[in-house]
A = this chain, B = another copy of it.
Amino acid sequence: MTDRQKISFQDVRDEVLERIHNRVWGQGDLLPTEQDLSEEFGCARATVNRALRELAERGIIDRKRKSGTRVALSPVKQAKLEITLTRQLIEDRNATYRYALVRCHQVSAPGWLASQVGLTPCAPVLHVQAMHYGNNQPFQFEDRWINISAVPKVTDADFSAVGPNEWLLAEVPFSTAELSFGAISADEDLAEYLSCAVGAPLFQMERTTWFQAQPVTFVRMSFHPGYQMRSRY
């Protein structure tokens, strides 16, 4: 790197990456201190700090307050998936969002649901089915159960106007969740909702949401054929 021009944190990051790639610094090796690197590169220590922070977030180096920074032994790759509202997914594709309630009724939790999310068998749940459209094309069928004991107000909600995901996010914004992704075949109902052939391969996402230790909701989202979810790391 030349010292004639201002050194950016990206320059430092790329140079460090290059040295790790070329095994100047091998896996497990201790890196020079931020002070030493900032002197070598002729930049502020904060610039080095920002570069190293990014490499640490990507799992490339390990930073320990007392023992210093080392090249990671095995890069654990963590992909980040931004989980947003279906409305957002559709609007991000520059399409017009439309929502339609299919049905909503109170039932006793079926056995599979109770064991899936850790509910008392036969606990009262609200079963909501809804469709999400982009430019009037079917985008996603939402099949959701909500634990009434966790969110008693849900029995007053009007899901013909606002989707249950948006309603829940406003009521219980800070939950934790478990996700699973897979592929299924469209059955007759899904084929009708998503205007596709029976047997078409569909990407499906399931999510169980808790607030603290209490199960709040379980949802199964089936996407139109050809849908792809994207991520980087």
Chain A contacts to B: CB under 8 angstroms: 14, 17-18, 20-21, 27, 58, 60, 75-84, 169, 172-174, 176-185, 199-204, 211-212, 225-233
Alpha-carbon distance between A173 and B60 when the two chains are bound, in angstroms: 9
| Cross-chain contact of A203 among B20, B79, B82, B183 (Cβ < 8 A) | B183
- Minimum C-beta distance from A16 to chain B (A): 10
Whose C-beta in chain B lies nearest to the C-beta of A211? B21
Contacts of A17 in B (CB 8 A): 174, 212
Contacts of A27 in B (CB 8 A): 173
B80 touches A229 (CB 8 A): no
B178 touches A230 (CB 8 A): yes
A180 touches B75 (CB 8 A): no
Whose C-beta in chain B lies nearest to the C-beta of A186? B201
B202 touches A199 (CB 8 A): no
Known contacts A21-B211, A201-B201, A202-B201: does B174 contact A79 (CB below 8 Å)?
no
Known contacts A172-B21, A179-B233, A233-B179: does B84 contact A76 (CB below 8 Å)?
yes
Contacts of A172 in B (CB 8 A): 21
- Minimum C-beta distance from A14 to chain B (A): 6
Alpha-carbon distance between A225 and B75 when the two chains are bound, in angstroms: 29
- Minimum C-beta distance from A169 to chain B (A): 8
Whose C-beta in chain B lies nearest to the C-beta of A171? B21
A79 touches B75 (CB 8 A): no
A232 touches B20 (CB 8 A): no
Known contacts A17-B212, A20-B174, A27-B173: does B230 contact A179 (CB below 8 Å)?
yes
